[in-house]
Amino acid sequence: MLIGECLTAFFAVWTVHHDCDNDTHFSRTQRGKFIPRAFYNMFYHTEHHLFPKVPTCHLPELANRIEKEIPEIKMKKVF
C-alpha cells in the first residue's frame, strides 16, 4: 500500500503531463483495451481535461465520441 501511494504522483501526474505545453497538448491520453483497463481508465487524461465532470467509467465512450466528432484532434500517448 505504501509503495502504491508513493507511485501515485508518478502515474497520476508526471506520465500524463510530461513534455506537454499549455497551447496544443496540455496532457497525454492512452487509448486501447489493456493499458486503460490496467490503470482504471485514468490514462484517458486529455478527455478528462476537456470534460472534467464526466465520470471515469464513461471516459472510453467519451474518447470514441470525440474521435468521431473531431477526427483532426491530435493527442499525445502516455506510453
Domain total of the chain: 1
Dump pLDDT digits (tens) for 11-34.
777 777 667 676 666 677 777 778
* Per-residue pLDDT tens over the stretch 27-79: 777 777 787 777 777 788 888 888 999 998 898 899 899 889 987 776 766 66
Q: What are phi and psi of 51, to 5 degrees?
A: -135, 80
Residue 25: which of 49, 57, 1, 52 has the closest Cα?
49
Domain encompassing residue 18: 2-77
pLDDT value of residue 61:
93
pLDDT the model gives residue 24: 65
